[in-house]
Amino acid sequence: MLTKGAVEDLIMQHLSRNSGGGAAARGKAPVRKIFLSDYELRRLYKPGARSVTVPACAILSPLSIEWLDYDGVKVIRS
């Protein structure tokens, strides 16, 4: 049975192979991907704002993308 850490390692190995050798091969620490769910994004969003700032490497859930589009909120990646 695979643990959560083992699954993350397998995914990072696969992603690093597809990106030209990966960050670990170049001597850099791998960048951790951040998954933002609908709940977490609603906590970041200020009511009435026209944009929300998320980390550049963040993965947004499909539900959060839908309500952002519906409300006309722009996603800014920093």
**What are 18-45's pLDDT values in tens digits?**
555 545 555 566 667 689 998 999 888 9
- 65 and 78 assigned to the same domain: yes
Angstrom distance (rounded) from CA 21 to CA 24: 8
pTM of the predicted model, to two decimals?
0.55
Domain range spanning residue 22? 1-28
Cβ-based neighbour number of residue 63 at 10 Å: 12
Tally of domains within the chain: 2
- 38 and 73 assigned to the same domain: yes
pLDDT at site 50? 94
Summarised one tens digit per residue, pLDDT across range 35-77 is 999 899 988 899 889 999 999 889 999 999 999 999 999 999 9
Alpha carbon 16 to its chain's center? 16
